[in-house]
Structure 1
């Protein structure tokens, strides 16, 4: 009798025969597989928190105890790895003394600061579920998030605490990160340790974080992600990290974080940077010229960014006034970025590379990415499938799985996929099927070399007569106009056509470009059914923290204003 493990190995070997080594497509299962070598993961039966796993990887890095892990861009204050680890240990002990324990939820409402990463690592070490929210959210939005997560404690600042719910929904315990009480918790015993050592046994399948989806297609949802979700992601980041640069201090890069730490992109990048022993320069609030100053002052080598910043750098004259020569790589995700914008950026900054990636909060930051110069040269793509991931391209009408070159809805499966939406089984079942496939809602295709291309959001396609018009395509064209700083395209109801493409345009300062000129510029580059048929000028385009255009708000505004201009 053949042993089950041998049968499984033979089955896997037979499956590999069907997989195209160039595209990763399996003609037998109609599934795309990652072209990267599999990254081994700790067995799920092994108790292991994300904090333990990350700090174990840190030990193998070239970072010294005196290496700065965190730098505040505004004040210039540094925190060394030695101090950082000591603070994690001290705060973990302090939180335990508050009877905060495994399974509790901690709601965090704070702008980016040197304290937030320490808080994340300490809470995760205890098995406490981290739930960070946007500190500029409205009171009603925050109340909704609190109802979803049912936190045992909240961490806020003196500027944000007043937004927390009052009355019956009041959170029983609130700690202010800018208070003497919290500062004393960071220095409980003053000991220097190499790793946060607690007696709490955390299972990898335990929930680690509830992160909030952008809510651009409905009310905000709480995405439940486990320790093993993040461990899989960080293992991949560590395995495919770039080689240490001998010209840099300790051989490691210096990262500037313009991303909010409550967003999945920022959350994962902070943990990944600590795992590889890098230095993080944090900005409490983003301001374009302050970002340029920080790059020059701290010799930033790498920045994770959202597309609007790439657009700004490609078009701004201000960027020419600063020394950005240390900046070598920009990791871009969160929203589509057109090839034309990347081309313009690389023409202006030839020594910099842009590595695009694709992920959702629901995929735990996992999806696709670019890991070397050859992949970064595919400027219209968002990279190849990440390690240990699988994908399908499903026909939106029939659900049939499609081969390379065919567009359909992207489905993803792998170890980083969320557990589900908190308190919303119906929404979970709609997006996550019984076989573990997550339906992204994005219209995409893979080429014959395994590169993924985003066409548009399925739910955002404009239905003009019998045609489907992707807003992202028109936005990319509009952004290529020298007099346009930014643009967004939305569906506008029309009695004859059903919907027509309407553009919101941000003019370049001093420009007098007209509605007719905008429409003519696009019309010359697209099929007739894709033409812009309505234009409104606006001072700025509303976007989520990850750079996604908030189309629902623009549609609501367009309907409220009718034919009036902005």
Structure 2
């Protein structure tokens, strides 16, 4: 029998994402919407609304039409939400690109998504220009010789396009996710998917206009896009934006801007709990640290809460869920280490025995299946992968093992899927294995999730060297590092005589994990 949320269902507005998020902005006037955490530069809500309107007109003049795809390849900046919402207001779909993407990663995503325009920043132009052979134009958010800037497009006096779309079918965003297995795939999320998840999640992760929210989690990641950027702006909170995590910049911005809420991944919780620098900053305004993107250890959460004197909470989701399905309620002071909280409204869950397919009950761990309006439409151009993830009855098979207790609180306890979560980033073992097998001195290889000294997941390679080869662990790490994005690098290497495999040739990863 499916489990339901303890919270009442909410009505899902029949609007587009910009209508929900940017629609109320102009009326908020001079209230700060976004603050640059490094420089203090501020965009008010009135400015945000005006810039989205003008850029939507400029993008339409540049040839962006309803149904087209715009690729956004940028770190967090004040202009990121402007570009995102302007493209959507013009009727286009935005494919968000990881700021750490290699030229190969970017080429693949631009080609697969069919992107017409690419918006980036000048430091990324080397990768962008090398990858964007089929893109109509590359625009920049700053300035670069030979490229138009988004500010130039905003100078148009043309009217903003009057786009009519069906929120239930029009694709809003196309992030790329490895899903439960394999290579990255375009996750088709409609306006209704995102609007629904904002409406659902706001019942537990509640923002207030008085909130100052640190935005260091990348907006290109669905967690940063929905829970930070869109949810906070829809409720009039102020986002303090940082382009990447640097502990000193992070702590300085928190103290200077009197940040009340920080949304982070577990490695940042670890730094807040243990790094000596934290004691040098006044973080007394901080009320909640909310962790997502990867499981947060209960003991670590408690250590961080005790040190900072604030709540440390977490939630659960995945790109294919827009992304939230579970979250601890804002202000809930119950101390239950390790829980990701209850199901959010309008969401059903099943716990399924992986071996038998039978439904399990309270306290019994099994694969977590989710059903609700936040479930993706599917993977772009990949019907087989879609059918393997979302069944005919609409249940999304997460690949994660979870259980629910008698209070309705959920725990993620294991992973059916092979995907490695390194600092919140998805690392497909198959991709690293393919790279390793390209080395002339490697006969066979497998990659599993290992752990570093802090207990965080890392890609751990098992390597069977070719006869007569002389390889060191550092040789293997360097070889991979030259060919993949930084977060995909192999962090540990074990040499073995042979990679254990089943009769069908499948790598026996459990046997390798037993050696760690």
- State the TM-score, normalizing by the size of structure 1: 0.73
**Alpha carbons of 1:363 and 1:135: their partners in 2 closer, same or farther (altered >3 Å)?**
same
Pairwise CA distance, 1:276: 0.3
| Larger CA deviation: 31-40 vs 206-215 | 206-215
Q: Which residue of 2 aligns with 1:39?
A: 10
Q: Which residue of 1 aligns with 2:399?
A: 441
Pick from 298, 306, 320: which aligns with 2:257?
A: 298
| Larger CA deviation: 398-407 vs 370-379 | 370-379
Pick from 97, 103, 115: which aligns with 1:133?
A: 97
Pick from 217, 224, 238: which aligns with 1:266?
A: 224
SS of residue in 2 equivalent to 1:277:
coil
Residues 25 and 45, structure 2, Cα contact 8 Å, conserved in 1: no
Residues 57 and 160, structure 2, Cα contact 8 Å, conserved in 1: no
Aligned alpha-carbon RMSD (Å): 3.2
Q: Which residue of 2 aligns with 1:558?
A: 494
Residues 65 and 82, structure 1, Cα contact 8 Å, conserved in 2: yes
How far apart in 2 are the matches of 1:79 and 1:559? 53
Pairwise CA distance, 1:99: 2.2
How far apart in 2 are the matches of 1:106 and 1:325? 41
How far apart in 2 are the matches of 1:561 and 1:174? 49
How far apart in 1 are the matches of 2:390 and 2:180? 18
Residues 213 and 222, structure 1, Cα contact 8 Å, conserved in 2: yes
How far apart in 1 are the matches of 2:244 and 2:271? 17
Q: Which residue of 1 aligns with 2:248?
A: 289
Residues 70 and 115, structure 2, Cα contact 8 Å, conserved in 1: yes
Does residue 35 of structure 2 align to residue 51 of structure 1? no
Q: Which residue of 1 aligns with 2:170?
A: 206
Pick from 343, 358, 361: which aligns with 2:316?
A: 358
How far apart in 2 are the matches of 1:114 and 1:330? 22
* Residues 441-520 of structure 1 mapped to structure 2, 5 A cutoff: 441-460=399-418, 484-485=453-454, 487-488=456-457
Pairwise CA distance, 1:186: 2.9
SS of residue in 2 equivalent to 1:429:
helix
How far apart in 1 are the matches of 2:204 and 2:364? 29
How far apart in 1 are the matches of 2:79 and 2:460? 43
Does residue 67 of structure 2 align to residue 109 of structure 1? no
SS of residue in 1 equivalent to 2:175:
strand
**Alpha carbons of 1:381 and 1:561: their partners in 2 closer, same or farther (altered >3 Å)?**
farther
Pairwise CA distance, 1:54: 2.1
Q: Which residue of 2 aligns with 1:181?
A: 149
SS of residue in 1 equivalent to 2:397:
strand
How far apart in 2 are the matches of 1:144 and 1:439? 26
| Larger CA deviation: 169-178 vs 407-416 | 169-178
**Alpha carbons of 1:560 and 1:419: their partners in 2 closer, same or farther (altered >3 Å)?**
farther
* Residues 231-270 of structure 1 mapped to structure 2, 5 A cutoff: 231-240=195-204, 242=206, 244=208, 252-268=210-226, 269-270=228-229
**Alpha carbons of 1:348 and 1:71: their partners in 2 closer, same or farther (altered >3 Å)?**
same
Pairwise CA distance, 1:490: 7.0
Q: Which residue of 2 aligns with 1:91?
A: 55
Pairwise CA distance, 1:76: 1.1
Pairwise CA distance, 1:137: 1.2
Pairwise CA distance, 1:491: 7.5
| Larger CA deviation: 160-169 vs 225-234 | 160-169
- State the TM-score, normalizing by the size of structure 2: 0.80
| Larger CA deviation: 285-294 vs 173-182 | 173-182
* Residues 33-432 of structure 1 mapped to structure 2, 5 A cutoff: 33-43=4-14, 48-56=15-23, 64-164=28-128, 166=130, 169-179=133-143, 181-189=149-157, 198-204=161-167, 205-213=169-177, 217-240=181-204, 242=206, 244=208, 252-268=210-226, 269-350=228-309, 352-374=310-332, 377-432=335-390
| Larger CA deviation: 408-417 vs 177-186 | 177-186
Residues 158 and 176, structure 1, Cα contact 8 Å, conserved in 2: yes
**Alpha carbons of 1:126 and 1:243: their partners in 2 closer, same or farther (altered >3 Å)?**
closer
Residues 375 and 383, structure 1, Cα contact 8 Å, conserved in 2: no
1:118-150, Cα deviation, whole Å (9 max, x unpaired) = 011111112200011012211111111112101
Pairwise CA distance, 1:181: 3.5
**How many correspondences in the alignment?**
450
Pairwise CA distance, 1:399: 0.9
Residues 315 and 324, structure 2, Cα contact 8 Å, conserved in 1: no
Pairwise CA distance, 1:217: 4.0
SS of residue in 2 equivalent to 1:357:
strand
**Alpha carbons of 1:216 and 1:134: their partners in 2 closer, same or farther (altered >3 Å)?**
farther
Pairwise CA distance, 1:80: 0.7
| Larger CA deviation: 86-95 vs 157-166 | 157-166
SS of residue in 2 equivalent to 1:459:
coil
Pairwise CA distance, 1:240: 4.4
Pairwise CA distance, 1:394: 0.5
Q: Which residue of 1 aligns with 2:468?
A: none
Residues 355 and 376, structure 1, Cα contact 8 Å, conserved in 2: no
SS of residue in 2 equivalent to 1:41:
coil
How far apart in 2 are the matches of 1:364 and 1:300? 26
Q: Which residue of 1 aligns with 2:424?
A: none
How far apart in 2 are the matches of 1:300 and 1:434? 45
1:92-129, Cα deviation, whole Å (9 max, x unpaired) = 11111122111000011112111111011111112200
